[in-house]
Amino acid sequence: MNIKILASFLRTPRLASKLALMKDLRALSRLHFLYAAVDMGLLKVLRIPSSLQQIAPQVDSERLELLEPLLDLGVSVGELSRSNGVYTLEGKRARVLAEEDADPFAAYLQEAVSYHGSVYVELAARIKGAPLGEYLERTAGLVARSSRTLEPLMRVFVRDLVRERKPERLLEVGCGSGIYMRHAAEADLALTGVGIDMQEAAVRQARENLRRWGLSGRFTVLQADIRTGGAELGGPFELVTLYNNLYYFEPHLRPALFTGLRTLLAPGGTLAIVSLMRGDSVSSRNFDVVLRSTAGCAALPDSEETMRQLKSAGFADVRMHQIMKSEHFAGVLARK
């Protein structure tokens, strides 16, 4: 660089802060590359090093003039390497996203870039009164996939809960794919129960999964809204669960929800709630902004308020269990 140009550059006001911002924007370019590479299946193709001409038909590319600069961007951000016209997976992020079991993390990346990104693009207008975003229907499948990033933590929590409380029957509210019913079933081979979900697609998926896992004889899945009652669910239950869905209920409606769930419990039964809670971590505060920007969602629950609401609904022995303290990810157990 020319000495005069360098000297002028070094006199730039707040240079360190501006360089830090440019570093962040470089990280954003990396995420944009990874998003596109995941979306088009490029990373799985590159598990075998390939040239542009070899890659193109495998990703259905009809525009090499767009595919080639994307590949070169991957090289610039360190996720790909190129030698003699052959592209190879290089960066640790690209390598892990190319693995067969990486779908939850690929989905979380896609959720962050597309769903969360849209929230922030529209946020200034919404703060001034524009309508909230209608994201739920079009992101439901993506969120269901990305939520499985929590499965290693949830698996331990669910299995320990079932082994400790020894319920005979379980009601899972918002059962999604049915994966947590599976973990509960594996923790106690005698456990039976019911899963409910409002989304028809989720109900179909849960039923098919339970069939594949050999559990359809032990668990029934129904399309139902817990807010409209529960007589048809066939209680009482020794354990009722709400996993990662309390923020679909407005805070002022939660006491009535808890009261209704208490009526479905057998004497001494347990209501188990797991959620990211309101807190000071980046994940918590970002997710709170996203939820409050989404029609049909509500604020992240506050842990102390949730415990007070449970006690006012008649629950005894209400306890908080920190699953991941640094991220304010917690379980609340309340006994009838």
Fill in the amino acid letter for 74.
Answer: G
Fill in the amino acid letter for 285.
Answer: R
Asked whether 336 and 270 are in contact (CB, 8 A), the reply is: yes
CB atoms within 10 A of CB 122: 15
| Residue with the two structure tokens 């009535």 | 256
Whether residue 166 has pLDDT greater than 90: yes
Gap between the Cα atoms of 160 and 184, Å rounded: 9
- R_g (Cα) of the chain, nearest Å: 24
Residues 207, 213, 217, CA angle at the centre, nearest 5°?
A: 65
Whether residue 1 has pLDDT greater than 70: no
Q: Summarize pLDDT for 232-243 with one digit per residue, the tens.
A: 788 799 999 999
The pLDDT score that the predictor gives to residue 259 is 95
pLDDT level of residue 5 (50, 70, 90 thresholds): low
Query: Structural domains in the chain?
Result: 3-97 (1.10.10.10), 103-144 (no CATH), 148-335 (3.40.50.150)
Gap between the Cα atoms of 195 and 116, Å rounded: 29
Of 135, 113, 146, which is closest to residue 292 (Cα–Cα)? 135
Residues 6+ apart with CB under 8 A from 26: 77
What is the rounded end-to-end Cα distance, in angstroms, of the chain? Answer: 72
Q: Summarize pLDDT for 281-300 with one digit per residue, the tens.
A: 999 999 999 999 999 999 99
Mean pLDDT of the chain: 93
| Residue with the two structure tokens 């962040």 | 24
Cα→Cα distances 40→57, 59, 93, 118, 129, Å: 12, 6, 16, 20, 36
Q: Which one has a higher pLDDT value, 22 or 134?
A: 134
**DSSP conformation letters of 69-122:** HHHHHHHHTTSEEEETTEEEE-SHHHHHHTSTT-HHHHHHHHIIIIIIHHHHHH
Residues 113-131: what's their mean pLDDT? 97
Of 334, 305, 336, which is closest to residue 319 (Cα–Cα)? 334
Whether residue 173 has pLDDT greater than 70: yes
Gap between the Cα atoms of 258 and 240, Å rounded: 11
Whether residue 12 has pLDDT greater than 90: no
Give the residues across from 80 on adjacent strands.
89
Residues 6+ apart with CB under 8 A from 205: 176, 177, 178
Instruction: Provide the whole-model pTM.
Output: 0.86
The pLDDT score that the predictor gives to residue 51 is 97
Lowest mean pLDDT among 2-16, 246-260, 273-287: 2-16
Gap between the Cα atoms of 194 and 207, Å rounded: 11
**DSSP conformation letters of 138-184:** HHHHHHHHHGGGGHHHHHHHHHHHHHHH--SEEEEES-TTSHHHHHH
**DSSP three-state, residue 63:** coil
pLDDT level of residue 231 (50, 70, 90 thresholds): low
